[in-house]
Amino acid sequence: MDAPRKIVCSLLIALLGTALSGYAQNLANKGELILSDPFEGSLGKGELVDIQDGWKRRVSFGDWTRRADGSVTAENVPEDGHGPVLTLIAPVRDIIIECEFQIPATPKKDRHFRIFLDRSDYRGHTIQSTANVSSVFRPVGLTLQHISKKDDAQKTIIQDIEFGPTPIELKPNTWYKMRFDIVGNKAWTVVNGVSLYGRNKVLHVEKNKIGLNPGMAGGRIRNFNAWTVASENDDAGVAEALDAINDRFQNVDVDIVEWPEETRAQFGKLKRIAFVAYPKDKPSGKLPLLITLHGGGGRNMSLRDQLVRSSNVKGLALAERAGKPLILLEPNSADIWDPDTLDQMLDHVLETRTDIDESRIYVMGHSMGGFGTLAWISRSADRFAAAAPGGFSYEIQPEQVEALVDLPVWGLVGGDDGNRVDGVRLMVERLRAAGNDRVKHTVFPGASHTQGNAAVFSHVELVDWMLEH
């Protein structure tokens, strides 16, 4: 995102909540410190040294020297045929690692620092984080990488899964900290404010060693520490996913907002983060607001997975496809949608923002989001200019029909979506019978529940129709 759009983003988001763009959230929270400063004692090559609590250390390649300030200098030994590696040996699964490093000033190739985790019966690296200035063996920038190889003389690569590279600035002879979190099948790393998040099913296996590897140009390290994982952060990977979405989207900018602490008690089961999209070229004046409610699957998803899913098949995807002059807000809930909570949320949004046209507020959803939309508009029909509940099986009640007799409503459903087809049809029929002549009905032929969701959030005509009201 360029500088002018970042300024617009800040202006749009600041009133709503706390903008989190560019915010890198650790994957995990630290538990027990299990290894600290493992450089005491002999640093002879190949010597297996007991260091603490069952951990052992071995200098696998290069010459390593401990300095008076506690840091360790690594020098390459050409005869080794490999850059310097110091190996820490013990069984680990979930772990948080931090280590400070310096890239040497000498303008040589192969200036990098990486931390890798391996297992004894595995060729390659289960997972590695690399901050690379000039190594010819791996991409320049920050990368997360899983590599598996055949057990042959050439160590032929079977699989290479890479996250990144992401550009990173590293100055010579300057201390930087690499943090590396591995939890289950997820990994996250950060260096100098640049972060990466990735997932791979192989990561959950037990690892038996940690490798510290300056490049062949050598380098210095200090302050190595490792912890168990106390807990996992729900919003890990959100900032990284957000950057990827904004790189891909052409019509809208997407950001995430954190509801202010003082309002969360009023917001029931809403998760603390919501998603927002707005036109890259924001027109002057007030804009319509479209609120999209996710389905039941989102209740137990991580916020990162919800964000990615929304950019593919939910509200953010619809905003990008439509490319219309509107603001899209997608809250996230850990439970079924509650109209009282949603009214509290909308009150807060309208109280804190001045760029929304209060006469042009729309809401839509599918599945649990469709039922939530119907429940909300039945309670607060006068707040909305139009609504689109879809993909639900609930049978609309007489008092709801009475409340919605004047509201433009468009019901949408997949044609092969079981009793949800009847739920949407009954809503449409009963609203029409009550005198609502602004009701539309769309059945996507042969579409299952999942396909119906994709069809609803691809239906740009729906946005056009809403904006007519």
Determine whether 458 is exposed, middle or buried from the number of CB atoms within 10 Å of its CB (0-12, 13-18, 19+).
middle
Of 299, 141, 306, 298, nearest in space to 237 by CA = 306
Q: Distance between CA atoms of 5 and 277, rounded to whole angstroms?
A: 12
pTM for this prediction:
0.82
The partner residues of 129 in beta bridges, in order of sequence, read: 115, 144
CA dihedral 125, 127, 132, 138 (to 10 degrees): 50
Quick check: helix, strand or coil at residue 64? strand
What is the model's pLDDT at position 154?
63
pLDDT digits (tens), the chain, 469 positions: 443 334 334 334 444 554 444 456 899 999 999 999 999 889 999 999 999 889 999 999 999 999 999 999 999 999 998 899 999 999 999 999 999 999 998 767 789 999 999 987 777 788 999 999 988 777 899 999 888 877 766 666 667 788 889 999 999 999 999 999 999 999 999 999 999 999 888 888 899 999 999 989 999 999 999 999 999 988 889 989 999 999 999 999 999 989 998 888 889 999 999 999 999 988 889 999 999 999 999 999 989 999 999 999 999 999 999 999 999 999 999 999 999 999 999 999 999 989 999 999 999 999 999 999 999 999 999 999 999 999 999 999 999 999 999 999 999 999 999 999 999 999 999 999 999 999 999 999 999 999 999 999 999 999 999 999 9
For the chain, state the CA radius of gyration.
27
State the DSSP string of 159-196. EEEEEEEE-----TT--EEEEEEEETTEEEEEETTEEE
What is the model's pLDDT at position 155?
66
Q: Distance between CA atoms of 40 and 35, rounded to whole angstroms?
A: 12
Q: Distance between CA atoms of 165 and 163, rounded to whole angstroms?
A: 6
Residue count (the chain): 469
Tell me the domain boundaries of the chain: 3-24+236-467, 28-232
Of 126, 55, 130, 135, nearest in space to 93 by CA = 126
Q: Distance between CA atoms of 263 and 265, rounded to whole angstroms?
A: 6
Question: Domain 28-232 carries which CATH code?
Answer: 2.60.120.560
Q: Which fold has domain 3-24+236-467?
A: Rossmann fold (3.40.50)
What is the model's pLDDT at position 276?
97
What are residue 308's phi and psi, to 5 degrees? Answer: -65, -45
Helix, strand, coil percentages in the chain from 3-state DSSP, rounded to 5: 25, 40, 35
What is the model's pLDDT at position 158?
67
What is the model's pLDDT at position 262?
86
Quick one: angle between helices 238-248 and 303-313, nearest 10? 20
What is the model's pLDDT at position 428?
98
State how beta strands 55-61 and 85-92 pair: antiparallel
